[in-house]
Structure 1
Amino acid sequence: MPCTAAKTDRYISFDGIDCDAYAERILGYIRACIDDAENPSDWQPYFERKLVEIAGMGQDALFFVGSQVNYIRELFEHYDHDDGLELLDKIEDECC
């Protein structure tokens, strides 16, 4: 029997993939970026508004991240937020 490395596969099961926690971390990274007044991004007003909207609607973080991937990527690129970009890639690969 061949030996294969255990890898989570979203198409088989979401077991072992903590997508909700990943998405919550992304929201934290977004908040940290938009709080940076010394290096403003054109995306700050957009995300300030969106974070208020999702809180008011009770929208889950994973849905928000999945629907805003390109905008989040641009925000993180502006801030050279490597951890955020890496986690965003992970969410795209494993959760969306």
Structure 2
Amino acid sequence: MNKTTQDVDRYISFEGIKCNQNADRLMGMLEDNLTQQIGDTKWQTYFADKLAHQQRCGHDNLHFIGNQMNILFDYFTQCDDQPALALLYQIEQECC
């Protein structure tokens, strides 16, 4: 059986939900915004520290996003990055 987006329900199964791939995509969006220095400069320092901590602890991108959900929402809102906000919402609904 082929799962569609409407058939996906994380409370039944994570089958068909691309949590890790979507987390990796969102982290790429974050990196792009930071590289382009979009948003207040305080974000550069904040995320540099948090990403270094992620590396030291060996946490994956989904773990990082789950811990930074509200901060990421604030940052992507300030950047007016609608695709990133939509993906963040999707990750929250499907994976967190």
Same fold (TM over 0.5): yes
Deviations 1:51-82 (A, max 9, x none): 12212221011111011100001110111111
Q: How far, CA to CA, are the matches of 2:64 and 2:47 in structure 1?
A: 11
Tell me the equivalent position of 2:42: 42
Residues 39 and 10 of structure 1: CA distance in aligned 2, closer, same or farther (over 3 Å): closer
Q: Runs of at least 4 residues of structure 1 off by over 6 A? A: none
SS at match of 1:89: helix
Residues 6 and 40 of structure 1: CA distance in aligned 2, closer, same or farther (over 3 Å): closer
Kept in 1, the 8 Å contact 2:9–2:94? The answer is yes
Q: After TM superposition, give the deviation of residue 19 of structure 1 in Å.
A: 0.1
Residues 61 and 39 of structure 1: CA distance in aligned 2, closer, same or farther (over 3 Å): closer
RMSD: 1.7
Tell me the equivalent position of 2:56: 56
Point out the more displaced range, 27-36 or 78-87: 27-36
Equivalent residues, number: 92
Q: Does 1:71 align with 2:71?
A: yes
Tell me the equivalent position of 1:93: 93
TM-score by length of 2: 0.86
Tell me the equivalent position of 1:19: 19
Tell me the equivalent position of 1:82: 82
TM-score by length of 1: 0.86
Give the letter aligned to residue 53 of structure 1.
H
Q: After TM superposition, give the deviation of residue 85 of structure 1 in Å.
A: 0.2
Give the letter aligned to residue 62 of structure 1.
L
Higher helix fraction (1 or 2): 2
Give the letter aligned to residue 70 of structure 1.
N
Structure 1 gap ranges (5+): none
